[in-house]
Amino acid sequence: MNSLTDLLIDLIIILIFLSGFSRFRTPGAARTGNLSAAFALALALVVVMARHRIMQPHVVIIALMIGSVLGWLVAMRVNMIQIPAMVAFQHGAGGIAAFLVSFVELTRNVLPGFGVEKISGLLGLTIGALTFSGSMIASGKLANILKGPPVRLPGHSLITLGLIVLIIFTAYFTGSPQAPLLNVLLVVLVAESVMLGLVFSIRIGGADMPVLISFLNATAGLAAAFCGVIIHNRLLIACGATVAASGSILTHVMCRAMNRNLLQVFIGFRVKDAADPVRVFFGEGEVTDAVTVTEEEPAPEPVRHADPLAEAIEACRNAENIVFIPGYGMAFAQAQFDVVAFAAMLEESGKNVRFAIHPVAGRMPGHMDVLLAEANLSFDKRVDIDDINPDFENTDLVIVVGACDVVNPAAITMKNTPISGMPILMAHLARRILICNLDEKPGYSGIDNPLYRNEKAILLLGDARETFRKLTEAYSSSLN
């Protein structure tokens, strides 16, 4: 009877968690969904502690208090540009928790051979350790502590393959029932897994970082699920599997947004030949061989306007259909409130205003959606790349806000670059282009953007927040 009661309690908690998780589809519902999921996790914590005898409850309580206070302090101090690095760090924290629990269980219950529990523990150990080290590299790159571009070692693929083979052989020898040797082998296994995570992550950079973040989210959940198997905890298995599944789906979405498969991201971008067509997405599920990748042509001299602010205001007044394209620069300048306020002013003056969101804009999946939701932009004003690209030819004005790689025509005109073949927002097809970026330097991928030299482009360089305050003031004066 007790086991049936426990099962029902677990199912109720899992259903609460999944119901909250299912509300993450829209920013408005995500707030309540987040609270529901947190409530389910709190219930799970209470249930687990009630079912098991805690030998030293004061240690658990102290650890919970320290962790909670530190988590609250970090969350309160982190701004919007630091969130991607914090998310990557949190994935690493989940990974290290998974491999520590697996390590303790594998050394506490020395089981010969390879049963379900032993295999689950070894998988939790290796996946957790590589998630930890990989996430630390990702967090360092996103926080600009480490260099963002990909790092390729001599024989990088062979090193990666060699580490995988070593991990398999080391795991095989843990089938011995001798405890001292087992402890040594597990330490070696952790070291090899950490090295694999490091080698694997340093190879990924630039526009592929959202794919890495999504993948590490999935591996953190997978490691937690395997931990749940070895400690016989249904709640941990369910929660970990849910995170792993959602992270895997998101990884697939990010790869599709980059026009790559997962293998291409992890072994480095494929060198495209000049005859290789670039896949550009137009409409629901439709793919068109729109452009051919070619060698880079000599760039023309940049076009400069005597008074770019006046030119920008004139373009705004003459435009009927306006599309904003936000990027990481908007987050860096924390300009989302000023951008949304300017968009509202344009709409009040009779303009049709929309926001085009590229799936990999920013440093993590959904980064721009979070920023715009924070600024209370209506969700129906946001348009996905597949829906907006066919409309750019009929768009009077595109306003680029701190975006570079996601509007870089080099992705469809150059070969052998980190963004070659990546579907972009076709801003260069619009009648006028207003670029509100900090400077003309390349984006995160390190590839120069010929859009800056487009004859239709107006460059308002500088801090995006200050730029949009000037635009708002000047446009408001022009209406009076």
What is the torsional sign of CA 139, 145, 146, 148? positive
Residue, of 365 and 172, whose pLDDT is higher: 172
**Statement: residue 34 has pLDDT above 60:** yes
Rg (C-alpha) for the chain, rounded Å, is: 25
Q: Which of 396, 405, 448, 463 is catalytic?
A: 405
CA 257/CA 280 separation, integer angstroms: 10
**Inter-residue contact 242 to 21 (CB < 8 Å):** yes
Higher pLDDT: 293 or 116? It is 116
For the question of residue 405 being annotated catalytic, the response is yes
Long-range contacts of 304-309 (CB under 8 A, 24+ apart): 304/459, 305/458, 305/459, 308/458, 308/459, 308/460, 309/460, 309/470, 309/471, 309/474
What does 56-108 look like in DSSP terms, one character per residue? Answer: -HHHHHHHHHHHHHHHHHHHHH--TTTHHHHHHHHHHHHHHHHHHHHHHHHHH
Q: Is the separation of the CB atoms in 199 and 153 below 8 Å?
A: yes
Q: 389: buried, middle or exposed (CB in 10 Å: 19+, 13-18, 0-12)?
A: buried
- Tens digits of per-residue pLDDT, 235-267? 899 889 988 998 888 888 888 777 777 776 666
Chain position carrying tokens 């061989």: 289
Name the least confident of 58-67, 288-297, 349-358.
288-297
Pairing type for strands 397-401 and 321-326 reads parallel
Distance CA 145, CA 126 (A): 26
Token pair of 477 as six digits? 């004066």
pLDDT band per the 50, 70, 90 thresholds, residue 219: very high
Q: What is the pTM of this model?
A: 0.74
Nearest to 400 by CA among 349, 344, 328, 346: 328
How do 397-401 and 382-384 pair as beta strands? unpaired
Q: What does the pLDDT read at residue 353?
A: 93
Q: Which residue has the higher pLDDT, 296 or 15?
A: 15
Span 275-282, average pLDDT: 38
Q: What would the two tokens of residue 106 be?
A: 């594998």
- Percent of residues, the chain, with pLDDT higher than 90: 29
Cα separation values, 427 from 61, 163, 341, 430, 457, Å: 55, 43, 22, 6, 10
How much is the average pLDDT of 15-20? 88
The whole-number pLDDT of residue 269 equals 46
The residue ranking higher by pLDDT, 424 or 175, is 424
Q: What pLDDT, on a 0 to 100 scale, did the predictor assign at position 25?
A: 72
State the residue for tokens 């897994």. 193
| Contact of 105 with 118, CB cutoff 8 Å | no
**289-317: pLDDT as tens digits:** 334 444 444 444 545 556 888 999 999 99
DSSP summary character for residue 415: S
Place of tokens 């408001």: 476
> Which of 9-23, 80-94, 346-360, 462-476 is least confident?
80-94
Domain 278-479 falls under CATH 3.40.50.1220: yes
Residue spans of the domains in the chain: they are 78-267, 278-479
Mean pLDDT, all residues of the chain: 82
